[in-house]
Amino acid sequence: MKIFNTLTQQLEKLTPLDGRCVRMYTCGPTVYDYAHIGNFRAYVFEDLLRRTIRYFGFEVRQVMNLTDVDDKTIRGARQAGVALADYTRPFKDAFFEDLRTLNIERAEHYPAATDHIPEMIALIEKLVSTGRAYRSEDGSVYFRIAAFPDYGRLAHLDREGLKAGARVAQDEYEKEQAADFALWKAWGPDDGDVGWDSPWGRGRPGWHIECSAMSMKYLGETFDVHTGGVDNIFPHHEDERAQSEAATGRPFARYWMHCAHLVVEGRKMSKSLGNFYTLRDVLRQGWQGREVRYLLLSGHYRQALNFTWEALSAARGALARLDELSDRLRERAGGAAVGDLPAWSRPHRDAFDEALGNDLNVSEALAAMFNLARDAHREMDAGRMRPEEAGALMELLGLWDRALGVLARPEVAPDSEALALLERREAARRARNWAEADALRGLLAEKGWLIQDTPQGPKLKRPSGAGGA
Ligand code: AMP
Ligand code: ZN
């Protein structure tokens, strides 16, 4: 498979360093609030990448950090009047719940910054001892960008414009402010009771150092892929790369991949602009996680994706068409043994693989899937599809869905209204009022629920599941 490397600005073949397992680091959420669906565009892109790497036969070892100490988390905890860990815990829990809702596979490691302070201090000590970092008057420690000649290569900065010797203390800043940046921040009154002892006095880590320390701890000094949204390129990833390579003298990540933003009316969806929706906001309006996932997934990751309600509605329509195909194939297969794929479907299979392997061209992969749907309906309409072929096509859809993760229909728990209707139907049956019982069954069906009799009594089910394996 080929991917676009931000560092080289080229399409490159992805080959893991050890030939087998792709080691990948994905910058995770700052847990000071609920993540918004713009953030989830990045996490869904990374999930597609992870799944695609496995689709093409490699293993994956993925690390996603949780930033649970920084300016924003400290400010939130102080405003709420609670300890930092108590403030961030519910947002961590909510994040994992949202990942499940969006059918995002779990990474192998989710290290939290506050659990890795000694590793960060050790890394900073290494940089200080070789003169690549220095302590300032107030007890903060800065990385000396002049000591790393490659500084600016990832973000393609103009080296002439760098302000070597000048300093920037905050975690986020503009390219024009590129200067020596903080690795360790001396304690100040705004930090309240948050702080750790270090060789430079009490303080806390800057944001960038956490990702260097945690990626190298779990993936080694040199690993394969490092990802994030484009806003991470500068300063976050530039600084991560500088401090890691300056400390080890070895290449840090080999491939850097960045997704473009989810935008609303032309502007990046972000907390600071106030133009954001959390996943919860969207679910509350009656949308499903699966529909949100489809929308976030459906555009190529290097192109900005516009968020609109119409686009979400189109995602719902697309999924309904895929569900219809799965249902019809299942019915046609009828439990027969799985045979060979029909000849007409093979070009679609190849087109799908070709698209996905070409820098995750998901729009073309989806087009291959819809072309297959069109042709499958045509064959079934004409009575030309054998049950074994329908089974083979279902298997192909299941395989594709390992990469896409959109076909499987999640089990939805019945709401209280549906349960009440079921209860009334049981009462009607006990009273031998069959007409009433049938009417209630009809009402439930209208709401999308089927009644299934089980040894434990009647249960509510959604109509047959999808082809996703
Ligand atoms: P943050 O919590 O701000 O560090 O962001 C977490 C991740 O979401 C990072 O990888 C960001 O690049 C990404 N991100 C933030 N806003 C957007 C957006 N509107 N579209 C896509 N990715 C975003
Ligand atoms: Zn990071």
* Cα 452 to averaged position of ligand 1 atoms, centre (Å): 43
Would you place residue 411 in the very low, low, confident or very high pLDDT band (cuts 50, 70, 90)?
confident
Residues in contact with 173: Cβ distance below 8 Å, sequence separation at least 6, in sequence order: 181, 235
Would you place residue 180 in the very low, low, confident or very high pLDDT band (cuts 50, 70, 90)?
very high
- Mean pLDDT in residue range 150-177: 89
Specify the pLDDT at position 465: 38
Specify the pLDDT at position 447: 78
Specify the pLDDT at position 247: 98
pTM: 0.90
* Whether residue 88 has its Cβ less than 6 Å from ligand 1: no
Give backbone dihedrals phi and psi of 371, rounded to 5 degrees, phi first: -65, -40
* Cα 65 to averaged position of ligand 2 atoms, centre (Å): 7
Q: Which residues of 365-393 are buried (b: 16+ CB within 10 A; e: fewer)?
A: bbebbeebbebbbebbeeeebebbbbbbb
> Which of 40, 231, 267 to probe ligand 1 with, by most ligand atoms within 8 A of CB?
231
As a whole number of angstroms, the distance between CA 44 and CA 4 comes to: 17
Would you place residue 318 in the very low, low, confident or very high pLDDT band (cuts 50, 70, 90)?
very high
Would you place residue 158 in the very low, low, confident or very high pLDDT band (cuts 50, 70, 90)?
confident
Q: Could you identify the residue written with the tokens 């940046």?
A: 181
Would you place residue 467 in the very low, low, confident or very high pLDDT band (cuts 50, 70, 90)?
very low
pLDDT one-digit tens code per residue, 336-366: 899 999 999 999 999 999 999 999 999 999 9
pLDDT one-digit tens code per residue, 223-238: 999 999 999 999 999 9
- Mean pLDDT in residue range 252-262: 98
For residue 226, which ligand has an atom nearest its CA? Answer: 2
Q: Which residue has the higher pLDDT, 464 or 398?
A: 398
Specify the pLDDT at position 209: 98
Specify the pLDDT at position 463: 62
pLDDT at 468 over 60: no
* Whether residue 345 has its Cβ less than 6 Å from ligand 1: no
- Mean pLDDT in residue range 433-451: 89
pLDDT at 412 over 80: no
* Contact (CB, 8 A) for 350 and 343: no
- Which atom number of ligand 1 is nearest to the Cα of residue 227? 10
Taking Cα atoms as reference points, which of 395, 396, 439, 409 lies closest to residue 421? 439
* Cα 397 to averaged position of ligand 2 atoms, centre (Å): 35
* Cα 170 to averaged position of ligand 1 atoms, centre (Å): 18
Q: What percent of the chain stands above pLDDT 90?
A: 87
Task: Kindly write down the DSSP assignment for every residue of 248-280, as one continuous string.
Answer: HSS--EEEEEEEPPEEETTEE--TTTT---BHH
Would you place residue 466 in the very low, low, confident or very high pLDDT band (cuts 50, 70, 90)?
very low
Q: Report the nearest-CA residue for atom 11 of ligand 1.
A: 229
